Chain A
Amino acid sequence: MTNDIHVDHLYFRYHEQAPYVLHDISLTVKQGEWLTILGHNGSGKSTLARFFNALHVPKEGKVISCGIDTKHANEWVNIRRQVAMVFQNPDNQIVAPTVEDDVAFGLENAGIPYEEMHERVYRSIERLGLRGLETQEPHRLSGGQKQRVALAGALALRPKVIVLDEATSMLDPTGRIEVLSMVEKLRKEENITIITITHDVTEAMLADRIIVLHEGSMAYEGTPDEILSDENALRKVGLRAPFIVQMANELKRQQVPLPNGVLSHEELVTSLCKLKPIT
């Protein structure tokens, strides 16, 4: 069975009279890849994400998650076990009064027997670096820790895909790094497909592929190199290019002969040092 996600000509609106929030979305998320959905607030990112795990079900168009058509209501629980999700607000997704109970919540729902559940819970806690916080109450955790608890709860289900819907946007810089480095680790070591949703271009650099959503339509699709180096295109959809890209473009405008597709500090610094001096 394939673990890809296929979205096919998806249209969506919240009510009969309301305007369409998603227009003709078609995309495929390949097993093992890291896809970022980029877009400004209100562009429809969360709405789209909820189709991946059958929280929304298409009336127009089709979504197939891990080989299962999401229109079958009796498969929803099954799909959600394969496509886990971490949400934006760290406070509004932890259900249980302690860390370990929360990590176990999904497993309890799935009816996993005690011995196995116990093992999976502590393994997940260990993997996410939460040892020592097992019995801590959620409101005593930092934002980054809370999101790691949510990730641990997702991981314990052994999903094929983890969707992070702006999971870092309410965190401080430390928390953001904390969560993203965990996501990188999980993807590398557990071969989980990652879908991150964000308006942060630095976060988008981590992806293999980026889809830019604008007013409910797919505006662009490509590798980070292609998408993030196009300053004007990003500005048009209410986003900003990474600082390095802005710098490189400005330097090029000032006749500094830099190569195309410079995205990181290291690349820019080495290119600059290699340049012939200006006289």
Chain B
Amino acid sequence: MQIKANHLTYTYMKNTPFETNAIDKLDLMIPGEQFTSIIGHTGSGKSTLVQHFNGLLKPTDGSIKIGEWTVKSDTKQKLLYPLRRHVGMVFQFPEHQLFHETILADVAYGPMNFGFSKEEAEKVAKECLANVGIDDQLFDRSPFDVSGGQMRRVAIAGVLALDPELLILDEPTAGLDPEGQEMMMKLFHDWYEEREERSIILVTHQMEDAARYSDEVIVMDGGNVIDRGTPRQIFAKKAELEKIGLTVPESVQLLEALQAHSESELNTSAFTLEDTVESILSFLHKKGRD
């Protein structure tokens, strides 16, 4: 689903002494069917921006177009409901949204809001729960009665159950242990790969994830987009990123340190273990040739 922001501005607590311009006259186009990451320092406006993508926030000024929907400051709430069927959103600590008596009913809540019958909704819910790795023995348990990692997966199943075209992830792995983070990112990536028309927009502080999974990385600072490009292009700009409080993935840090220390050219844009090893090996080979 394509997104197009036109002079988008969002102001919190307008007309009070605490007024904050979180997004400032932003122009942005994000193509559909791709994996996009948004990075930026805390407070740079990432969450505020992505909440416009499914109509949770309406622009204070300017407009935003998501697929065929256009949202302006005076757009009626009512018109935004169908949009949310197509754009799913996973917040930070999504397990805080669980409320139903059973896990199955909680996941079926979304589809039922959009007019599915109970049977249909539960069928979808079961599929989604299986996809996120929740055993069917747990379906009738209370969502508050399972481990923290499982709670989060149930909450995510509740969002996937809407079968959105675009999935927005706002720091979805915060607070998980390394294994949990790895599994969670894999789950999202598998979901994304499953169908051609699906897109993901990931807000993250983990540069490694942004580098590994995205087609495009968008850099935000002070309520505006200041740079965008492929992970390769963005993470080649270590100094610029550091200036706005960001880092490059650890693999890039290592390769750049090696490059600086050995004073020889090497490929520094490697984001996986394999690529990094390969880059180092070719560095060692080259050393042999020189």
- Mark A residues whose CB is within 8 Å of B: 40-42, 142-143, 169-170, 172-175, 199-201, 238-240, 243-244, 246-247, 250-251, 254, 256, 265-266, 268-270, 272-273, 275, 277-279
Contact = CB atoms under 8 A, between A and B. Distances in A.
28 contacts: A41-B147, A41-B148, A142-B43, A169-B175, A172-B42, A172-B205, A174-B41, A201-B178, A238-B178, A239-B179, A240-B178, A240-B182, A246-B273, A247-B254, A247-B280, A250-B273, A251-B277, A256-B280, A265-B257, A266-B257, A269-B258, A269-B261, A272-B280, A272-B283, A273-B262, A277-B284, A278-B284, A278-B285
B20 to A, nearest CB: 11
A250 B288 contact: no
B176 interface: yes
Contacts of A173: 205, 247
B281 A272 contact: no
Contacts of A199: 177-178
Contact of A273 (B261, B285, B288): B261
Contacts of B281: 251, 254, 256, 278
Across chains A and B, which 5 residue pairs bring their CB atoms closest together, nearest first?
A277-B288, A277-B287, A279-B288, A199-B177, A240-B178
Nearest to B93: A170
B180 interface: yes
A182 to B, nearest CB: 18
B267 interface: no
A65 to B, nearest CB: 27
A170 B175 CA distance: 6
A174 B280 contact: no
Interface of B is mostly: helix
B276 interface: yes
Interface of B: 41-43, 147-149, 174-180, 182, 205, 245, 247, 250-251, 253-254, 257-258, 261-262, 273, 276-277, 280-281, 283-285, 287-290
A122 to B, nearest CB: 27
Contacts of A172: 41-42, 205
A254 B27 CA distance: 48
A174 B288 CA distance: 40
A268 B149 CA distance: 34
Contact of B176 (A41, A175, A273): A41
Given A41-B149, A173-B205, A265 B254 contact: yes
Contact of B287 (A239, A244, A278): A278
A279 B286 CA distance: 8
A174 B245 contact: yes
A112 B261 CA distance: 54
A247 to B, nearest CB: 6
A243 B205 contact: no
Contact of B250 (A42, A169, A243): A243
A239 B177 contact: yes
B224 to A, nearest CB: 19
A155 B283 CA distance: 49
B11 to A, nearest CB: 17
Given A272-B284, A273-B261, A170 B174 contact: yes
Contact of A251 (B205, B253, B280): B280
B258 A273 contact: yes
Contacts of B262: 269, 272-273
Nearest to A279: B288
Given A41-B177, A200-B178, 18 more contacts: A41-B147, A41-B176, A42-B147, A42-B148, A172-B205, A239-B177, A240-B179, A243-B250, A244-B250, A246-B273, A247-B251, A266-B257, A269-B262, A272-B280, A277-B289, A277-B290, A278-B281, A278-B285
